[in-house]
């Protein structure tokens, strides 16, 4: 049975949604999109659910009913989907490839295919260059030009990008707009405000008495490469950094409704609007209305309160139960920003890091950290010059020396120990004993099958010395998928063997992902938030980790390194002693 990934199922459902959109089918496209989005971001693989509990487990996925369950099961059984094949037969078009162009949707694809037999991006580019597009009914010069420019952009753009590489730019743009006359509010909304691990564009909202002036300033910022849209209260630009930015400007008393609208997520908004509708109200970016009467718009708190619920932190606005919790006044108290007191994964120039231990210490202190763990790679990671037992001992001496010089700061002796293919560690027991925190990670054999990989990691976690599993699923955003592991079993083992799971918040990793954090936390597994810094400039990413922990509904008490250093060390020491005692 082919192991079809969630990503693959989601891609197929998105594709179906576009084909149905093309045929003007009502409502179904959104049903498929909604299901695709849920499957794409859920914590466990649908395939694992199916193997364990059969079709009923698939049917239990929110947004997936009888029809889609059948289709998913067919994919698992045959690796194919007859329904998609029949859609493709009718319109043999690479629809998602073409609709990736900004401003080109399913309806245009249909015309392009019917009139010019355009099936993919290459056909489209050729037709546009030959000036054939402008002659089509409903198309003209401008559309043809937009298509050509859109194709050029697509060639350079990378799709969704890691938040951490762009977040500073988003806020820099916000800050530039702050000084515009007439402005009362300006804020970054959208997936940046929700702190999704990857983003597609920037959504900004502002309130101003002079929207024209503000939009003028926005579209003429030095960061802007091209203006895509510009209306009375909205503009859409393409930045030189190969990412788009959207600005919505409304009057001051609409700040709350505008911010809510532009923060999303889409499905969070849809649920709120449906709730408003059930009461005979309407909800839009201008407020909540009963007929023409305005019920709320000034602040988000007021908006939520009018709907009978508590204010919901943006990080969890994904329609994953937060609305129901807010209605019952039972939202979790999410870990506050600034809670993490020390970073427990840092590489230095002893292996593949760029800076010395002392440089890392200085940078960490500047950030307000009270401690860091030095976690250079170990022996078998040869390309990084991994340390063996002797190397670790030499490094320990160096750490002792620096610790003596720093009274108000503590360096913890640790390592990122390699889990070998059979689940053994590449540092012997004597070496392990000398470390204060023992963290382990997989760095090879990524293609092992799920059973082998899962057992391998669980075997490592059983080792009584092991405290933390680093970047548990191994994903690199946009480059490498998670390795095949059964995250449920990993979480169960983490609980059983008292091993913390890392939320590695280097922007390209963000691993554990939000939905896995939520599962781990629900299972009572402890989390640590680390940057995996290889350079002093990486330490600042810790707030991205806090953001993602919030997205996983984590509380401060779920995260070990919110504790002061003595408690952190005591915690791990106790775990080790308990495990050694049990072993005997």
Q: Near DNA by CB under 7 A, which window of 4-12, 21-29, 419-427, 517-525?
A: 21-29
Strand partners, 226: 238
Which residues lie closer than 8 Å to 387 by C-beta, 6 or more apart? 350, 351, 376, 377, 378, 379, 395, 415
Here the tokens at position 289 are 């209305």
User: Crossing angle, helix 255-263 and helix 266-278, to 10 degrees?
Assistant: 130
Nearer to DNA, 296 or 438 (CB): 296
- The region of 133-141, 336-344, 461-469, 480-488 touching DNA under the rule CB under 7 A is 133-141
**Beta pairing partners, 201:** 244
Q: Which of 9, 39, 42, 108 binds DNA (CB under 7 A)?
A: 108
Kindly tell me which residue out of 32, 76, 113, 153 binds DNA, with binding defined by CB under 7 A.
32
Binding-site member from 54, 79, 231, 481 for DNA (CB under 7 A): 231
C-beta of 244: minimal distance to DNA in Å? 6
Query: Which residue is listed with tokens 């602040």?
Result: 299
Residue 207: strand pairing partners = 185, 250
CB atoms within 10 A of CB 298: 15
Under 8 Å between Cβ of 160 and 479: no
15 near DNA (CB under 7 A): no
Determine if 246 is a binding residue for DNA (CB under 7 A).
yes
CA distance 223 to 207: 21
Place of tokens 């099936």: 119
Give 103's contacts (C-beta < 8 A, 6+ positions apart): 143, 146, 147, 150, 228
141 contacts DNA (rule: CB under 7 A): yes
Contacts to DNA from residues 166-195, by CB under 7 A: 190
Euclidean distance between CA atoms 121 and 106, whole angstroms:
14
Site for DNA in 385-414 (CB under 7 A): none
Nearer to DNA, 64 or 381 (CB): 64
Q: For residues 68 and 468, which CB has a smaller minimum distance to DNA in the complex?
A: 68
The distance of closest approach from Cβ of residue 199 to DNA in the complex, given in angstroms and rounded to an integer, is 11
For residue 147, CA distances in Å to 23, 141, 188, 432, 526 come to: 22, 10, 29, 59, 50
SS3 label, residue 470: coil
User: Among residues 244, 376, 416, 508, which is the contact residue for DNA, using CB under 7 A?
Assistant: 244
Nearer to DNA, 67 or 79 (CB): 67
Tell me: does residue 109 bind DNA (CB under 7 A): yes
How near is the Cβ of 18 to DNA at its closest, in Å?
9
Taking alpha carbons only, the member of 307, 187, 201, 328 closest to residue 252 is: 187
Site for DNA in 57-96 (CB under 7 A): 62-69, 83
Number of shown-chain residues binding DNA (CB under 7 A): 64
357 within 8 A of 402, measured Cβ to Cβ:
yes
At its nearest, how many Å lie between DNA and the CB of residue 502? 32
28 binds DNA (CB under 7 A): yes
Nearer to DNA, 21 or 436 (CB): 21
- Does 159 interact with DNA (rule: CB under 7 A)? no
State the alpha helices, DSSP H only, in 232-307.
255-263, 266-278, 300-306
Smallest separation (angstroms) from DNA to the CB of 475? 24
Task: Work out whether 142 is an interface residue with DNA (CB under 7 A).
Answer: yes
Q: Which is nearer to DNA, 202 or 465 (CB)?
A: 202
Chain residues 284-323 in contact with DNA, contact rule CB under 7 A: 284-286
The Cα–Cα gap between 87 and 23 comes to 10
Binding site for DNA (CB under 7 A): 21, 24, 26-28, 30-32, 35, 62-69, 83, 99, 101-109, 134, 137-144, 146, 190, 200-201, 203, 229-234, 244, 246, 262, 266, 269-270, 273-274, 276-278, 282-286
């Amino acid at each position: 049975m082919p192991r079809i990934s969630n990503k693959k199922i989601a891609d197929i459902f998105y594709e179906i949604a576009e084909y149905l959109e093309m045929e003007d089918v009502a409502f179904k496209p959104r049903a498929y999109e909604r299901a695709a989005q849920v499957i794409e971001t859920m914590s466990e693989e649908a395939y694992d659910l199916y193997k364990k509990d059969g079709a009923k487990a698939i049917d239990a996925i929110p947004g997936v009913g009888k029809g889609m369950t059948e289709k998913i099961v067919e994919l698992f059984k045959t690796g194919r989907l007859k329904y998609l094949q029949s859609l493709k037969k009718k319109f043999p078009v690479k629809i998602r490839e073409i609709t990736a162009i900004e401003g080109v949707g399913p309806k245009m694809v249909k015309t392009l295919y019917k009139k010019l037999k355009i099936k993919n991006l290459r056909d489209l580019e050729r037709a546009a260059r030959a000036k054939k597009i402008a002659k089509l009914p409903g198309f003209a010069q401008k559309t043809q030009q937009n298509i050509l420019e859109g194709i050029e952009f697509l060639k350079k753009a990378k799709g969704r990008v890691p938040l951490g590489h762009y977040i500073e730019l988003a806020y820099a743009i916000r800050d530039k707009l702050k000084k515009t006359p007439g402005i009362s509010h300006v804020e970054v909304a959208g997936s940046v405000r929700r702190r999704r691990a990857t983003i597609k564009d920037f959504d900004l909202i502002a309130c101003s008495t002079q929207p024209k002036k503000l939009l003028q300033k926005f579209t003429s910022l030095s960061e802007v490469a091209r203006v895509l849209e510009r209306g009375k209260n909205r503009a859409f630009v393409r930045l030189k950094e190969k990412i788009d930015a959207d600005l919505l400007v409304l009057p001051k008393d609409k700040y709350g409704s505008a911010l809510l609208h532009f923060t999303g997520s889409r499905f969070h908004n849809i649920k709120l609007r449906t709730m408003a509708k059930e009461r005979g109200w309407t909800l839009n970016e201008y407020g909540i209305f009963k007929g023409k009467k305005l019920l709320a718009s000034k602040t988000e708190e007021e908006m939520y309160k009018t709907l009978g619920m508590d204010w919901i932190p943006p990080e969890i606005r994904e329609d994953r139960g937060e609305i129901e919790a807010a209605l019952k006044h039972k939202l979790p108290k999410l870990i506050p920003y600034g809670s993490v007191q020390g970073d427990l994964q840092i590489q230095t120039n002893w292996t593949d890091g760029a800076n010395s231990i002392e440089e890392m210490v200085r940078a960490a202190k500047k950030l307000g950290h009270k401690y860091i763990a030095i976690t250079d790679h170990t022996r078998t990671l040869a390309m990084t010059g991994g340390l063996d037992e002797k190397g670790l001992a030499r490094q320990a001496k160096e750490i002792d020396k620096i610790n003596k010089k720093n009274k108000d700061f503590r360096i913890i002796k640790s390592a990122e120990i390699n889990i070998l293919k059979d689940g053994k560690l590449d540092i012997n027991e004597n070496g392990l004993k000398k470390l204060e925190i023992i963290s382990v990670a997989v760095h090879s054999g990524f293609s092992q099958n799920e059973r082998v990989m899962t057992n391998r990691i669980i075997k490592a976690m059983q080792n009584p010395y092991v405290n933390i599993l680093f970047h548990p699923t191994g994903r690199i955003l946009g480059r490498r998928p998670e390795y095949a592991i059964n995250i449920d079993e990993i979480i169960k083992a983490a609980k059983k063997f008292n091993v913390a799971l890392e939320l590695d918040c280097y922007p390209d990793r963000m691993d554990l992902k939000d939905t896995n954090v939520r599962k781990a936390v629900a299972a009572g597994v402890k989390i640590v938030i680390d940057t995996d810094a290889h350079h002093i400039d990486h330490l600042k990413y810790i707030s991205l980790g806090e953001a993602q922990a919030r997205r996983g509904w984590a509380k401060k008490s779920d995260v070990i390194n919110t504790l002061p250093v003595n408690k952190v060390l005591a915690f791990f020491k106790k775990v080790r002693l308990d495990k050694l005692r049990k072993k005997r």
